[in-house]
Structure 1
Amino acid sequence: MKGSGFRRRYGDSPPHLLLLLCSFALTAYAGVRLLRGDWLGIALWVAGAAVVHDLVLLPLYGLADRALQRAVPAPASYVNFVRVPAFVSALLLLVWFPLIAGTQRRRYERSAGLSADVFLPRWLLITAVLFAVSALWLWVRTAMWRARERRRGAGS
């Protein structure tokens, strides 16, 4: 099969197809290994996570985003400087919630041999750093925009 005919039939290059098939094979292997234990519990967890995300979390994201857009009297692009660190912080909280909240402290300490007391302070520190970096980035962008506007005004 020629390259152009293959691309016309498949829609992309042969290496793309090979990479896609390899990723499917790796996913199938991981799925078989994962489901070897408690497959019903895992399937219920995945289905429940999808339902909770789509029916509970997604509407909450939307409401929080609309409230943020109405509360911040700034251009819409400035809202992203709050959205991004809030999203990353919320994602970290979601993933590490049992350890941040301390509900799985004993289990973690038994299996890892490490203290679980560090998760809440580290999550708070990461969240503060994310918002600080975002604020710094916004400040730099605003300063660059103002400098550009001054140069345009002086050049006219």
Structure 2
Amino acid sequence: MRRILARWTAFYGANPLHLLALLACLALAGYAALLVSSDPLAVRMLLWFLAALIGHDLVLFPLYALADRSLSGLLSRLPRARTATRPTVSPLNYLRIPALGSGLLLLVFLPGIVRQGAVTYLDATGLTQEPFLARWLLLTGTMFGVSAVLYAIRLGAARRTGPRPAD
């Protein structure tokens, strides 16, 4: 049995459970496509899906990959005391995570933040879109603040325990 599994892994490159999970996901996606195909809005949904795919892969991904690469380069140029008594903790992920959260919130709530469709929103809900910008800024500030506190805690813990041995 082990020989068969080893041969399968050498041929396929992964465990057979991986293939089983992949086939189950494809079957589920095919079933969902079959259910939607009779809907008159299926073409519109397909166009939205393709636009989102192209918009992400050709526009957004290069932009945030460039921003991440620039941030990495900027942080690597900052002077740091790398001595045996002062360990360093990279702040990169403590900036990436809140920036990603803020960007996703901006993407989701952009129409409300820029007050697009204010009349329709007011008619539908009886509320204005005024608090959207303030709430987005508050959430963004909170995410960066929590991240800064976590970074300070991690930096303090790293200084108390001392430097890690080099790999």
Q: TM-score scaled by structure 2?
A: 0.69
Alignment of 1:77-156 (within 5 A): 77-149=90-162
Q: Is the 8 A contact 1:69 1:76 kept in 2?
A: no
Letter in 2 for 1:28: A
Task: For residue 36 of structure 1, report the CA deviation from its aligned partner.
Answer: 2.8
CA offset digits 1:10-33 (Å, max 9, x no partner): 934xxx86xx57x928x7189629
Letter in 1 for 2:28: F
Task: For residue 78 of structure 1, report the CA deviation from its aligned partner.
Answer: 1.8
- Whether 1:28 and 2:41 are equivalent positions in the alignment is no
Q: Any gaps of 5 or more consecutive residues in structure 1? A: none
Describe the SS at the equivalent of 2:116: coil
Q: How many correspondences in the alignment?
A: 143
Runs of 4+ in 1 over 6 A off after TM superposition: none
Of Structure 1 and Structure 2, the greater helix share is in 1
Q: Any gaps of 5 or more consecutive residues in structure 2? A: 9-14, 81-87
- Once the two structures are aligned, what percentage of the paired residues are identical? 36
Could you say which residue in structure 1 is the equivalent of 2:48?
45
Q: TM-score scaled by structure 1?
A: 0.74
Of 51-60 and 114-123, more deviation after overlay is shown by 114-123
